[in-house]
Structure 1
Amino acid sequence: MTIMNGAWNAVLGQTLDLAKSLEMAKANYSSIQAKRALSEATLQEVGATKNIYMPKLMLQHQYTYSTGNSVEGGFFPNEGTISPSGGIRTENINQGAYGSFTSAIMEWDVFSFGKQSSNVRAAKADANAGQLDLENEIFQHQIRVADAYLLLLVSEKLTEVQEHNVIRAKNFSDAVDAGVRAQLRAGVDSSLAHAEYARARVLLLESQRNEQMRKYRLIELLGEDAQTFSLEIDSMSFCSQLPVVGFANMEIDQNPLLRMQQAKIEAAGQRALAMKRSFMPTVSLVAAGWARGAGVDNADGSYHTDFANGTQYQVSNYLLGVTAKWRVTDGFLIRNRYKKLQYITDQNTQQFYQQQNMLKRQATESEMQYRIMMEKARTIPLQMKAAKQAYTQAEARYENGLSDLSTLLQSMVVLNQAEADLAIAYSNVWRSHLMVAAAKGDLTSFFDSL
């Protein structure tokens, strides 16, 4: 078994209860790990957004080999790949010389009319949405694990019921065979008894198949390999008692799904505000210092072709200033993107209303299901008692020759169905209780019922 960080070595060879199963799934399941990684990524983006507004310092040093000709007048640089290399010369000299250039440039955006704070708030809103998305994924997966756990439990119980049924059918078949051999029973009774025994074995095989399929499903939800992981679960009190659920407070506002969707609405709104404010100008403090060396002497224009003379600094400068930058024509682009984000906010809002209505329906439906399943679970023991009495009476009447075998076999089928119905009824009550907790968004009441 592969356990993350060795945290689950203690459960090797042990029986897992529901609480341990939920913790194991939380630690191992891939979709939860993916959401956790995404949440961490959004937190890193918050830090990156804050760091954008730190002073920007760029250091640069270069050695060059170039000519020193230039002409008077301005030009538009081709993305910085062409620049003037010297002063104004009347002659055109093709001889090159070595040169050097060192610079340090710092720019600090000190005032941006709310752009900086808006971007940080948008990043924090995204991080909050990512965290709530993780919490919702954990909660929804816990519901899936708990439901798979209950389904496996009822499958195990049904397998146990069919095992008892096989034993009952086998004992009955043996008894009928003995009667036939003693010529106390008709031969057809032996054939019918064998057929019932075969039917009981088929039901057992089907139950075992369902149990294994549900066990594999639970192993998958635990984040383990169904081919190598051996799973045994604890029945706890699911098969021996019924939960008591109060419906006084069926509020769904704190459901992780709604909280996540609310966070998405907030994040989209903050991104829209940040986009709107990105149109504002930026006021920056700038500072720079640089030094330059050249093989062309600064005093008399003479050439020195050796590297050492060419790379010695001849002049140095510094610059301090305040700049204001405003990309006015970006307003057209920003307007469209702002409207786009407004539509995304509207989309998230409508999804919130849809999910809210869905959860309200689930809450009402799960409450109804719970009440009906509880009443059914309280009624089935009466069916069970009557089925046992009918089987006992039919068996006694058959043994005394007062009834035929068909009546006894029918009572056996009814008893087997009643035993299965009892197990299913208890499971359905607990599953309905789980759906109530899922609609409320809180598993506390479910565990309190254990």
Structure 2
Amino acid sequence: MLSLKRCFGIALLLLLAITAKAQQSTPITLKELLNRADQKAPTLLTDSAAILIRQAQAAETRSSWLPNLKLNYQADVGTSNNTTGPYFGFGIIPSSSGGIHNTNVTTAVGDNLGIASLDWEIYNFGKYGAQNKVANSDIKVEQNQFAQSKYQLEAYTIGDYLQLLRLQDFLAIQVRNIQRNQQIRRSIESLAKSGIRAGVDTSIAEAELSKARLNYIELNNQLKQVQLQLSAVTGLPYQSIVPDSTVEAALINQPSAALFAPDTINHPIINFYRSVYQNSLQREDLVKKLYNPKISLDAAAWERASSVNASGQYNSISNGYGFDRGNYLVGLSVSYNLFDLRRKQLKLRTQKASTQYAMKKLQEQQQLLSVSSSQADVEMQTALERLKEIPNQLKAANDGYRQKLSLYKNGLTDIVELDAALNILYRAETDYMQAKYTYANALFQKAITQNQVNTVLNLLK
């Protein structure tokens, strides 16, 4: 049974070594990963298609000034009886032109009619221009929405990349912890065989070793989950997404990176909310001009024929086909609905409320970015202070473990104190790893908040 466990331990160590070597052989830089995400992320591909929709809508809006030119033709057969009296047409009462008969005539009449009609809203006091400005503003909002999506994807990718670094460091710590527990177990086995130690120590050591292996398995699973998340946005096989282990050290050795100036003019989040606010202002202007008077050009030309001649005689129905009379009509019209004044006031009040909301959202985002930047500064300062102190903790914990191991081998202490020393060393290593991660994460958080990610990436060359 013991040989099987030893074989399992050796196999696990070999697997860890192979995995570590594979990870170190082909690391991918953060810049490469971000470029890949920009090209392959499904969300960005979808958002880029939304821009095309807005551009098509803007082209449609620019064509709204075009006139209506309608061509109509009809050939009819029916009676022609009229009487005196007004009525509303309702759009459904057919027209019958001609004189009034003394009796109701049932003789069929043949006629035809061809019409070309034009109506053109030639001037509306700025409505067309306001519509085009809103359409262009909609494109700008969509473009800034796309830029914001790229920004959020960038933050997401950086966060996952740093998590990979953290888990990679954690796995390395677990490998060392497994090796130490195996060393302790071998010492206990040797001491137990010689009767210096009780057999229960072997069980305790075996339990600690098993716990270390389980921790490694769980951490390895977490690392693969993060790799899968990055694979979903980059299209890369998840096994190939191995972080560059030099990132944290490169950033820690260049603390001047924390001094970069914020870029508030081109910040994607600010640009997006600013464009939403500007879009709302443009819509206010459109509402003001939407209910203005309209000046239209109307024109029509038509020809017709009828089987009834000028003296009122009914001829063959076929005589009604073939134009023999023509007319035209041209005019300018002005239309204005007085109740549009009230509609304009109500709609403008609603739009002003939307503009106020957009302005508040812009101010909110500016404040949130400022707070986030300050929080990142505090985190970075705290992490730097911890990084200065932790080496002392790490050295003391390492010395304490070696002393306890030596005392245990000589029968001067027990397994409980040795495990306590081992746990202190393990905690010191994890504290150091967490401090490095916290500093790098805070630095990138500040870079993301201040739109200076490329500045930090340039430090990693």
Specify every segment of 5 or more residues in structure 2 that has no aligned partner in the other structure, as ranges: 1-25
Matched, 1:242 2:242: no
**Contact 2:58–2:136 (Cα < 8 Å) also in 1:** yes
**Contact 1:247–1:367 (Cα < 8 Å) also in 2:** no
Task: Choose the corresponding residue for 2:98, options 47, 69, 87.
Answer: 87
Output the TM-score relative to the length of structure 2: 0.85
- The CA distance in 2 between the partners of 1:207 and 1:324, in whole Å, is 76
1:406 Cα shift? 2.7
- The CA distance in 2 between the partners of 1:142 and 1:152, in whole Å, is 15
User: Within 5 A, what are the aligned runs for 1:150-165?
Assistant: 150-165=162-177
- The CA distance in 2 between the partners of 1:223 and 1:96, in whole Å, is 77
The residue number in structure 2 matching 1:52 is 64
Query: CA-to-partner distance for each residue in 1:174-221, whole Å, 9 max, x for gaps?
Result: 23213312334332322221122122123223322322333343344x
The residue number in structure 1 matching 2:191 is 179
Matched, 1:266 2:313: no
**Stretch of structure 1 that moved more, 388-397 or 133-142:** 388-397
The residue number in structure 1 matching 2:238 is 230
- The CA distance in 1 between the partners of 2:185 and 2:425, in whole Å, is 17
The residue number in structure 2 matching 1:357 is 367
- The CA distance in 2 between the partners of 1:258 and 1:32, in whole Å, is 19
Matched, 1:129 2:138: no
- The CA distance in 2 between the partners of 1:331 and 1:126, in whole Å, is 27
Secondary structure (helix, strand or coil) at the match of 1:321 reads strand
- Amino-acid identity (%): 22
The residue number in structure 1 matching 2:400 is 390
**Stretch of structure 1 that moved more, 210-219 or 407-416:** 210-219
- The CA distance in 1 between the partners of 2:241 and 2:433, in whole Å, is 17
In structure 2, do the counterparts of structure 1 residues 390 and 321 end up closer, same or farther at CA, with 3 Å as the change threshold? same
Secondary structure (helix, strand or coil) at the match of 1:234 reads coil
**Contact 1:70–1:84 (Cα < 8 Å) also in 2:** no
**Stretch of structure 1 that moved more, 201-210 or 47-56:** 201-210
2:100 is matched by which residue type in structure 1?
A: R
**Contact 2:308–2:320 (Cα < 8 Å) also in 1:** yes
1:253 Cα shift? 4.6
What is the total number of aligned residue pairs between the two structures?
430
- The CA distance in 2 between the partners of 1:310 and 1:327, in whole Å, is 42
**Stretch of structure 1 that moved more, 381-390 or 125-134:** 381-390
The residue number in structure 1 matching 2:323 is 313
The residue number in structure 1 matching 2:12 is none
Query: CA-to-partner distance for each residue in 1:329-356, whole Å, 9 max, x for gaps?
Result: 2222121101110111111111222222
Secondary structure (helix, strand or coil) at the match of 2:325 reads strand
**Stretch of structure 1 that moved more, 88-97 or 278-287:** 88-97
Q: CA RMSD in A?
A: 2.6
- The CA distance in 2 between the partners of 1:310 and 1:22, in whole Å, is 77
Secondary structure (helix, strand or coil) at the match of 2:71 reads strand
2:126 is matched by which residue type in structure 1?
A: G
1:148 Cα shift? 1.6
Matched, 1:197 2:209: yes
In structure 2, do the counterparts of structure 1 residues 219 and 407 end up closer, same or farther at CA, with 3 Å as the change threshold? same
Matched, 1:347 2:336: no
1:270 is matched by which residue type in structure 2?
A: Q
In structure 2, do the counterparts of structure 1 residues 165 and 298 end up closer, same or farther at CA, with 3 Å as the change threshold? farther
- The CA distance in 2 between the partners of 1:23 and 1:292, in whole Å, is 70
- The CA distance in 1 between the partners of 2:190 and 2:307, in whole Å, is 120
- The CA distance in 1 between the partners of 2:311 and 2:379, in whole Å, is 97
Query: CA-to-partner distance for each residue in 1:371-391, whole Å, 9 max, x for gaps?
Result: 212222343333333332322
1:241 is matched by which residue type in structure 2?
A: A
1:139 Cα shift? 0.5
Matched, 1:438 2:448: yes
Matched, 1:166 2:178: yes
- The CA distance in 1 between the partners of 2:384 and 2:68, in whole Å, is 68
The residue number in structure 2 matching 1:104 is 116
1:87 is matched by which residue type in structure 2?
A: G
Output the TM-score relative to the length of structure 1: 0.86
1:181 is matched by which residue type in structure 2?
A: K
Matched, 1:114 2:123: no
- The CA distance in 1 between the partners of 2:250 and 2:388, in whole Å, is 11
Matched, 1:77 2:96: no
**Contact 2:230–2:238 (Cα < 8 Å) also in 1:** no
Matched, 1:302 2:289: no
Specify every segment of 5 or more residues in structure 1 that has no aligned partner in the other structure, as ranges: 1-13
- The CA distance in 1 between the partners of 2:325 and 2:350, in whole Å, is 52
- The CA distance in 2 between the partners of 1:341 and 1:63, in whole Å, is 50
1:129 is matched by which residue type in structure 2?
A: V
Secondary structure (helix, strand or coil) at the match of 2:76 reads strand
- The CA distance in 2 between the partners of 1:96 and 1:271, in whole Å, is 57
> Higher helix fraction: Structure 1 or Structure 2?
2
The residue number in structure 1 matching 2:387 is 377
- The CA distance in 2 between the partners of 1:239 and 1:442, in whole Å, is 17
Secondary structure (helix, strand or coil) at the match of 2:330 reads strand
1:147 Cα shift? 0.5
2:243 is matched by which residue type in structure 1?
A: S
The residue number in structure 2 matching 1:322 is 332
In structure 2, do the counterparts of structure 1 residues 36 and 63 end up closer, same or farther at CA, with 3 Å as the change threshold? farther
- The CA distance in 2 between the partners of 1:312 and 1:266, in whole Å, is 59
Matched, 1:404 2:414: yes
- The CA distance in 2 between the partners of 1:428 and 1:69, in whole Å, is 93
- The CA distance in 1 between the partners of 2:325 and 2:391, in whole Å, is 101
- The CA distance in 2 between the partners of 1:363 and 1:289, in whole Å, is 71
Task: Choose the corresponding residue for 1:422, options 415, 426, 432.
Answer: 432
**Contact 2:58–2:135 (Cα < 8 Å) also in 1:** yes
Secondary structure (helix, strand or coil) at the match of 1:280 reads coil
In structure 2, do the counterparts of structure 1 residues 267 and 397 end up closer, same or farther at CA, with 3 Å as the change threshold? same
2:262 is matched by which residue type in structure 1?
A: M
1:89 Cα shift? 3.0
